[in-house]
Homo-oligomer: A and B are copies of this chain.
Amino acid sequence: MENTKNEQTLGEKNGRKNVVGEDQCSGLNAMGVLEQIKGGLIVSCQALEGEPLHSSIIMAKMAYAAMLGGARGIRANSSSDILEIKKVVDLPVIGIIKKEYPDSLVYITPTIEEVARLVACGCEIIAMDATNRKRPNNEALVSFFEEVRRRYPHQLFMADCATYEEGRQAAQLGFDLIGTTLNGYTEESVNDPKPNYCLLSDLVRDSGKPVIAEGNIWSPKQLQLARGCGIHAAVVGSAITRPMEITKRFVKAMED
């Protein structure tokens, strides 16, 4: 009840529907967010430190461009980028924080600290590495996600998985969305086809959760094929928002 009141107050204050708090998503809101992105394109707007477009202001403009182009959601990295994006874009945000720790290969929202910061940003969905690789401090996914869910029972969480087994496991652990983000980026999956339509179909059939196609989608044609696998939504990033990577592909076509 208190939560509902806070939500309304903040909602009114900001003139927006996103609110910030320990557990801001009611069950109804969560369903609304899933409905909002259903059948839609989510555009990932990321430029890490060292990339030519690194700047929260520019990422906000990218997200705005994506919204004008018809995107139904934005995926973004870092509190700074997400807060800037939320000033100009009224779409659900899948938030991540990429952070490297010396004792782990997991770098997408690896610890509870990054989760807490993303909750504080009012992310409608929070994504995290859901592979079976050890997290920082030798933590396993299962105990980590138990703690995450205990603290934020109504927040939507997306599992960035690499394999079919990880996708099914994430569904059982209680993730709300199953993504194929890390397919091709782990030892077991590095040789998988790109995009991995088979993995998408299998997870749609067996996970019992909305599946998000993410990773290695470079053309509208590939997106169409991914859609044909029965996915809930798809994330496209580099092909839209990383001009250096796009340039490389065209340059290659001039040289081949």
Contact = CB atoms under 8 A, between A and B. Distances in A.
Interface stretch (A58-66, A140-148, A151-159): A58-66
Interface string A197-228: 00000000000000000000001110110010
A39 interface: yes
Contacts of A70: 247-248, 251
A15 interface: no
A72 to B, nearest CB: 8
Interface stretch (A25-33, A95-103, A165-173, A236-244): A236-244
Interface string A227-255: 10000001010011111111111111110
Nearest to A69: B247
Interface of A: 39-41, 43, 51-53, 55, 58, 61-62, 64-66, 68-71, 219-221, 223-224, 227, 234, 236, 239-254, 256
Contacts of A223: 250, 253-254
Nearest to A256: B224
Contact of A240 (B39, B219, B250): B250
A58 B220 CA distance: 26
A61 B53 contact: yes
Nearest to A68: B244
B227 A254 contact: yes
Chain A interface mostly: helix
Given A53-B58, A53-B65, 6 more contacts: A41-B254, A52-B65, A52-B68, A65-B247, A69-B245, A224-B253
17 contacts: A41-B247, A43-B243, A53-B58, A53-B65, A58-B58, A66-B243, A66-B247, A68-B244, A69-B245, A70-B248, A71-B251, A220-B250, A220-B253, A223-B253, A224-B253, A224-B256, A239-B246
Nearest to A239: B246
Nearest to A70: B251
A223 B61 CA distance: 28
